[in-house]
């Protein structure tokens, strides 16, 4: 946690694959930055994407570089583990931002309770309607057929 005089600096954290960067990604980062002073973004490694039986089109280093250059982002780190609490133990962020597609899922209810115990708030942002990397990938597949 950073200090600015007597004021506490709010550290925010979010993570994602950020493949085929689109307006939904930008909305997430912009909205997150509006609710914290410093925004740290974890970019999912290629190995972790593969673990989820998917494959990123853009390589991990390039995805990190793209996210690093978004003006709302203060720091970028690799996300090599799905355990968000381990990341908190490492970074000690105050607030975590996720898409509302996870809201009230069993996994995130458990995480929410665990984070409350250490004073971390989880904020769920609405998914940007009409766009996602999956939709873009499917459209590209159809174009190639």
Any idea which residues carry the catalytic annotation? 52, 54
Phi, psi (rounded to 5 degrees) for 85: -70, -35
Query: To 5 degrees, how large is the angle CA 15–CA 16–CA 20?
Result: 145
Identify the three-state secondary structure at position 80.
coil
DSSP strand pairing (3-4 vs 7-8): antiparallel
DSSP 53-80: T---SS-HHHHHHHHHTSTT-SEEEEE-
């Amino acid at each position: 946690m950073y200090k600015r005089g007597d004021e506490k600096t709010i550290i925010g954290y979010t993570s994602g694959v950020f493949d085929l960067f689109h307006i939904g990604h930008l909305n997430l980062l912009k909205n997150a930055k509006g609710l914290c002073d410093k925004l740290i973004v974890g970019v999912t490694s290629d190995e972790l994407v593969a673990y989820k039986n998917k494959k990123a089109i853009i390589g991990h280093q390039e995805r990190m570089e793209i996210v690093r250059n978004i003006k709302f982002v203060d720091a970028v780190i690799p996300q090599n583990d799905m355990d968000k609490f381990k990341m908190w133990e490492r970074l000690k962020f105050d607030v975590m931002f996720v898409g509302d597609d996870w809201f009230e899922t069993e996994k995130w209810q458990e995480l929410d309770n665990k984070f409350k115990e250490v004073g971390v708030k989880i904020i769920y942002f609405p998914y940007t309607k009409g766009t996602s990397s999956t939709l873009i990938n499917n459209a590209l597949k159809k174009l190639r057929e």
